[in-house]
Structures are given as structure tokens and as C-alpha cells.
Amino acid sequence: GKAGGMLALDVDDDKRSKKTKRAIPTPNIPDPMPQNLAFMFTKISPEQKMYMWNIYTLIFVAECLNIVLYWAMLHYGPSIGISFGLATGIYGTIMICLCIQNVYILHDVIHGATFPPYEWQNYITHPFAD
């Protein structure tokens, strides 16, 4: 196939998709561009994409480690005074914070850096998103 074919637009003479017959959307970019909005219309650099995927991977690993921490608190906690309720409270508080960040960074990753830099990252995007 042709390089970049996935991003190519197959349109007819009326600038409509040949497949769906819908008009191709055009961004509503302000002209002149206000300085405080310019960042919203700039392309994400490869470094920024890699950073976002690294942060998302860090959040995923932290969520997994939080589950291990919960198990450890349940298993060893009673001997050092950590009750089921306290262990669950600690686990829940940490997981709520991580899941909120998961949703925010996942949104940015999916829209801004759609394809992960490593194949295995395809499998970490949604286990904790629900």
C-alpha cells in the first residue's frame, strides 16, 4: 500500500467522503488566533507523544502495584494493626486518585497520540478505565 494511506482522504468532487457521502469536517480555527488559544491548535510533537504514553504506562503500573499493596495489607496488616476497613480505605483512596488520572491521560493519549510507541501498550489502555 501507499505510505500514509490511513490518513489520506478519499473524497469526491463535492469534497464529500466517497464511502459515507458525508462532508469532511473543517476545524473552526479563529482568525486571527488569540495567543491564549494557540496551544489548542498545535500538533503534538513526537517527544510529547512519548511523554504522554510514558505517564499513562506509569499510571497503569501504579494501579497494578496498588492491587499488590492491597493484598499485602490484607495478608500482613492484621499482625501490625491494619484492619480490613483501613486497608480498604487506603486502597480505595489511592485507586480513586489513580483512576481519575487514568481517565484524563487516556483521553489525551487516545486523541493526541493514538498509536502507542510499543505494541504491548495496546493492551493496557482499558483494564482500569471502567
The residues pairing with 11 across neighbouring beta strands, listed in sequence order, are: 17
- Residue 35 predicted with pLDDT over 70: yes
- Is pTM beyond 0.85? Reply is no
Residue percentage of the chain with pLDDT more than 90: 39
In this structure, which long-range contacts are made by residues 116-124, counting pairs with CB atoms below 8 Å and at least 24 apart in sequence?
A: 116/53, 117/49, 117/50, 117/53, 118/53, 121/53, 121/56, 121/57, 124/56, 124/57, 124/60
Give pLDDT tens digits for 41-93. 777 888 888 999 999 999 999 999 999 999 999 999 999 999 999 999 999 99
Residue 103 phi/psi, 5° resolution?
Answer: -65, -45
